[in-house]
Structure 1
């Protein structure tokens, strides 16, 4: 009997439109000979199953839907929500309480990796190279001179809990820092200020397939803009070269550290992390646990290079969840 799969998409953050696009690509590529997929929009204005432009409200007590006269329940949830409440683990804790399986890592791992500050704190204990950073909470006094003394110029100012490069600025001068902080605070009450790492940037996808941790082919990021911002990610202002132009030594190093990061953080499901090479050493930037899943997105590009179709990629995630 085919399993009912709820593909959750949307969310409560600035990434809602991107998430809806990812979720619809998942819906289009799921193997319907094995699964019955349903699009579930999780939005601030409500939770709905959407089919043929009709909306059917989700009963939040048990995550069921009164669908065409029958009560519809789900065997597994495919998480395609970028940002809150999918990528930060909140909705996954809800599914755990209901006993519904999902394709993401456990909710604690999701919450941890969504918090850039906490992720970096753990990885530094395992000698994973990172940028130098300063943390601020909204309302704290900002001493620009002290910040510059620690991280230098240029530096990056970013929200601590946000994705898709929303709220990120590259500050080139002392005068740039306060406006950059204000911009970041529009996305989050916690911010992170990091030293600029000058080097080749790569994105590394790591997935689990049949109980094995697999590092996918690596993508090199060459942005036309000052950094890999929203335009570069989603509006064609970058080159994404897969496989990356790395020496065998560079590739070996970044594969090793990417697998170590995935293991140290006790991850499962999808992840895509960014690294910058400084003097031949890959420095960890951040991890995305619900990466973009459209045909143009980096993780699907990497899977394709590895000979894995979108149908196989998504089907593996569902089957791994159902068998866990």
Structure 2
């Protein structure tokens, strides 16, 4: 009997539209031979399933079920493609865990940790992972721009701590622009991280569970036409994403090993992507995305393709890993 799979998409943040695109790609490529696949939109105003004829059916939040044409459907697994809250920060994962429903992304604590850039960096630093110099600010703090510059230097990056897709981020070149950059970041989150500028080649490394192993995918080099890898560069074609990256075999192996180690240290699962910058020849960790973009133009699917993994295999494997993990928990 086919398993019922809900592809969760949308969310409550600025990234909702991007998530809907990721979710649609997953919906189209998950095997309909192996699964019954449903689009599940998790929006701030309401949760609903959309069928191919465009009709919508409300999701019962008490048990995450839906009734379609007099059939009550309970889901065996959720494919989580929600970027931002609640699917990337752990809230949706915690909800599903209380329901006993497996899902494809990392579990709620790991999701919350990776979504919080400040906490994630702090944990990884303890394991010797190299990062930029950083300075933390909370909304309402009195900030001395001079002290910020003394700590991280110029130029620097001012980032919303818990946001993705480069929302709430600025590259600051002058001390007098720090306060306005903070206000920009505070539109996305009340916590901000300010980081030193790392000059070097930026790369992205996907790491997945596949065939019972933790495996790093081919490395992607990111070359932005803009000041940095911002929203336009990510989604509006203002960048080159070169896979495999134009780095030495030794550099590739080193950054893949670090990405795999991060996956293990943080106890992640499913599909993840970590960003690094080769600064002074050494890979410095930038951030980890535990619920990355999955459109055909997104980085991780590009890496999978170069690695000889089709989208059907990539997505189907994520479902099977989630189902297997749930079986292990129930033993």
TM-score band, normalised by the shorter chain?
A: over 0.9
The CA distance in 1 between the partners of 2:55 and 2:245, in whole Å, is 43
**How many residue pairs are counted as aligned between the two chains?**
324
Q: What residue in structure 2 maps to residue 2 of structure 1?
A: 2
What TM-score do the two structures reach when normalised by structure 2? 0.97
Query: What's the offset of the Cα at 1:261?
Result: 1.0
Q: Please tell me whether residue 25 in structure 1 is matched to residue 25 in structure 2.
A: yes
Q: What residue in structure 2 maps to residue 101 of structure 1?
A: 102
Which consecutive residues of structure 1, in runs of 5 or more, have no partner in the other structure? none
Q: Is the 8 A contact 1:253 1:281 kept in 2?
A: no
| RMSD (Å), alpha carbons | 0.6
Query: What's the offset of the Cα at 1:250?
Result: 1.0
Q: Please tell me whether residue 36 in structure 1 is matched to residue 36 in structure 2.
A: yes
Q: Please tell me whether residue 128 in structure 1 is matched to residue 97 in structure 2.
A: no
The CA distance in 1 between the partners of 2:62 and 2:27, in whole Å, is 24
Query: What's the offset of the Cα at 1:298?
Result: 0.2
Q: Please tell me whether residue 46 in structure 1 is matched to residue 46 in structure 2.
A: yes
The CA distance in 2 between the partners of 1:323 and 1:265, in whole Å, is 19
Q: What residue in structure 2 maps to residue 202 of structure 1?
A: 203
Query: What's the offset of the Cα at 1:278?
Result: 1.0
Which digits, 9 at most, give the CA deviation of each residue in 1:60-112, with x for residues without a partner?
Answer: 00000111111111000000000000000101101000100110111100011
For residues 109-148 of structure 1, the aligned pairs below 5 Å read: 109-148=110-149
Q: Please tell me whether residue 12 in structure 1 is matched to residue 17 in structure 2.
A: no
Query: What's the offset of the Cα at 1:10?
Result: 0.2
Q: Is the 8 A contact 1:201 1:221 kept in 2?
A: yes
The CA distance in 2 between the partners of 1:58 and 1:260, in whole Å, is 38
The 3-state SS of whatever aligns with 1:286 is strand
Segments ≥4 residues shifted beyond 3 Å: none
Q: Please tell me whether residue 280 in structure 1 is matched to residue 269 in structure 2.
A: no
Query: What's the offset of the Cα at 1:54?
Result: 1.1
The CA distance in 2 between the partners of 1:99 and 1:262, in whole Å, is 24
For residues 165-176 of structure 1, the aligned pairs below 5 Å read: 165-176=166-177
Q: Is the 8 A contact 2:4 2:35 kept in 1?
A: yes
Q: Is the 8 A contact 1:78 1:102 kept in 2?
A: yes
The CA distance in 2 between the partners of 1:285 and 1:317, in whole Å, is 25
Query: What's the offset of the Cα at 1:210?
Result: 2.4
Q: What residue in structure 1 maps to residue 251 of structure 2?
A: 250
Query: What's the offset of the Cα at 1:211?
Result: 2.0
Q: Please tell me whether residue 264 in structure 1 is matched to residue 272 in structure 2.
A: no
What TM-score do the two structures reach when normalised by structure 1? 0.99
Q: Please tell me whether residue 73 in structure 1 is matched to residue 91 in structure 2.
A: no
The 3-state SS of whatever aligns with 2:200 is coil
The CA distance in 2 between the partners of 1:177 and 1:53, in whole Å, is 47
Q: What residue in structure 2 maps to residue 321 of structure 1?
A: 322
The CA distance in 2 between the partners of 1:323 and 1:282, in whole Å, is 33
Q: Is the 8 A contact 2:4 2:36 kept in 1?
A: yes
The CA distance in 1 between the partners of 2:211 and 2:319, in whole Å, is 11
Query: What's the offset of the Cα at 1:247?
Result: 0.8
Which digits, 9 at most, give the CA deviation of each residue in 1:187-245, with x for residues without a partner?
Answer: 00000000000000000000001220000000000000000000000000000000000
Q: Is the 8 A contact 1:157 1:170 kept in 2?
A: yes
The 3-state SS of whatever aligns with 2:228 is coil
The 3-state SS of whatever aligns with 1:274 is strand
Query: What's the offset of the Cα at 1:309?
Result: 0.4
The CA distance in 2 between the partners of 1:301 and 1:104, in whole Å, is 19
Q: Is the 8 A contact 2:145 2:176 kept in 1?
A: no
Q: Is the 8 A contact 1:217 1:306 kept in 2?
A: yes
Q: Please tell me whether residue 158 in structure 1 is matched to residue 189 in structure 2.
A: no
Which consecutive residues of structure 2, in runs of 5 or more, have no partner in the other structure? 326-331
The 3-state SS of whatever aligns with 2:165 is coil
